[in-house]
Amino acid sequence: MTMSVKRKVRGGVALIKALEAHGVRTTFGIPGVHTLDAYDALYDSDHIATILPRHEQGAGYMADGAYRATGKPGVALIVTGPGVTNVVTAAGEAFADSSRIVIIATNLERKYLDTLEGNLHEMKDQMGVMRPVTKWAHRVMSAKEIPGAVAEAFRQVQTGRGRPVYLEIPIDVMAEEVEIDELPVGEGERTAPNPEQVAEAADLIAAANRVFIFAGGGCDDEEVSPLLRELAHELGAPVCTSLMGKGAIPEDDDCAVGAFGYRWSPESPIASLMKGSDLTIAIGTGLGVRTTAQGTMPLPTPLIHIDIDPHEIGRRYPTAVGIVADAALTLKALLEAVRAGKRPKERWSVEEIRAVREANFQPANERAERYVAYLRALREATPRDAIVTCDMTMMCYEAVRYFPVYEPRTFTFPRGFGTLGSSLPTALGAKIARPDRKVVSLNGDGGFQFTMQELGAAAHHRIPVTIVIFNDSTHTAVKVAQREAYPGRYIDVDLVNPDYVKLAGAYGITAVRAESPAALSEALASALQREEPVLIDVPIKLEQY
């Protein structure tokens, strides 16, 4: 597909026109002297809005949040050198969590690339910094290459497993004039399932007594979710999700049992469904060691494993049928076979599944009960379709099991890389991309300080996100780990925090303090009615040392 333009422009204009051709409507980034040509072109753009974060790490997380909320690639525009090193952490998170983001950065003039001549922002190998955290990295060396390179970046980012991609443009290429007469548009390629493998999978389903479905992040999608639900109902199969799969099926559906938690535990009520089944269909999950507790999760065998990434098939669990294909296309094919008669001999009853679901949502112990009180308050005040972004914090770890989610793309978590501080900028990106949804950012007090400067972006653009900080003046997860491994030997885990209400006030952001679950529910319900950013500071003491 191409779009005709036919005009002589500078490389910066060619870049922005190419982004417009791909439907980009927002870029996240901080302008610098090396990106002036691109930003001058953005000044004239009638289609692309710019969001100004306060740090390039925030730009990366915002692009990631935009993707997670919509399924459409987010775009970060980054300056040479320190801008690139700043965005690497967010790129690493996107890589680990299979997020589709496009990072575009400048570099020095072509004659100075990788030469260490004493220039501003120079690096020994800027491309080498980005390659480990992207699936595709490319440097253009002339302005005429820009439209094609942008098209290839979008083809790459939308094809196969989601990962970030990186495009680098030297600053003199940005300034170079070029005549462009067409703008190619890169489109993703979808992999259809092998019909013979679908038939093998259908035969296994027909031979089974009862089926168990495990749904990962590849199912947390508006197209895949209803197909997953249909398959579960056709088979009478319970659906358990991984952390990344939360939202793939409404967690009050007759076939849903929820997610078992941050990682597998043999005490999980869901174990009874696994042990009572004799076939697993795993969809859109790598069955990674963190999810499966080093492969100890007792998935029933045989295993049908469906994933877009061939490297995940058979790595941790023996696979009877491994289908490397698009989840939606594969589920459609399986549904056709099932409706033609390939059903298991028995169904799990609605009552059996409900009993496990209800047990799974009950606090496992008195400690969990303390957290669940706050999670119930959050759920009570939050609309069913609201987007909730999590940080690496204790409340969010417990939310994986105890906070029910009802729609795809409404629960985000920095699962793979485990970065602190992602929640606030991820929420801002999600709200920019989905202005029709309420967005709530959940934070710990320690992690919040990694990116709290993005309160400036929230205030600047008046982005109506509600920011909740669970505040115990501690890096709690680490202190708990020290308690378990080295009792009484606590070091560098207790914090001196700012007054978050006053901090928000310094930005002109409305802020309140909620000192109980009931107060949190009331404050959150009120905040979500306002078309402005609101911060809620929640003092807690939920751990015992």
Per-residue model confidence as pLDDT tens digits over 503-521? 999 999 999 999 999 999 9
Q: Identify the DSSP state of 494.
A: B
Q: Tell me the C-alpha distance between 252 and 35, whole Å.
A: 48
> So what's the pLDDT on residue 7?
76
b/e burial code for range 158-195 (CB count within 10 A of at least 16 → b): bbbebbbbbbbbbbbbbebebebeebbbbeeeeeebbe
What residue type is 371 in one-letter code?
Answer: Y
Mean pLDDT for the stretch of residues 289-296: 94
118 Rama sector, left if φ>0, alpha if ψ -120 to 50, beta otherwise: left
What pLDDT, in 10s, does the model give residues 184-202? 999 999 999 999 999 999 9
* Better-predicted residue by pLDDT, 533 or 7: 533
Residue 253 burial (CB < 10 Å; 0-12/13-18/19+)? middle
**Percent of the chain whose predicted confidence (pLDDT) is above 90:** 98
**Residue 4 pLDDT greater than 60, yes or no:** no
**Domain 364-539 class?**
alpha beta
**CATH superfamily, with its number, for domain 2-184:** Thiamin diphosphate (ThDP)-binding fold, Pyr/PP domains (3.40.50.970)
Number of Cβ within a 10 Å radius of residue 236: 19
Which H or E element spans position 517?
helix 517-527
Distance CA 150, CA 144 (A): 11
Hey, what amino acid is at 222?
A: E
| CATH 3.40.50.1220 placement within the chain | 195-358
Q: Which CATH superfamily is domain 195-358 in?
A: TPP-binding domain (3.40.50.1220)
Per-residue pLDDT of 31-73, as tens digits, reads 999 999 999 999 999 999 999 999 999 999 999 999 999 999 9
Confidence of residue 6 (pLDDT cuts 50, 70, 90): low
Domain with CATH 3.40.50.970 in the chain: 2-184, 364-539
Instruction: Read off the pLDDT band of 289 (50, 70, 90).
Output: very high
- Averaged pLDDT for residues 336-358: 98
pTM score, whole prediction: 0.97
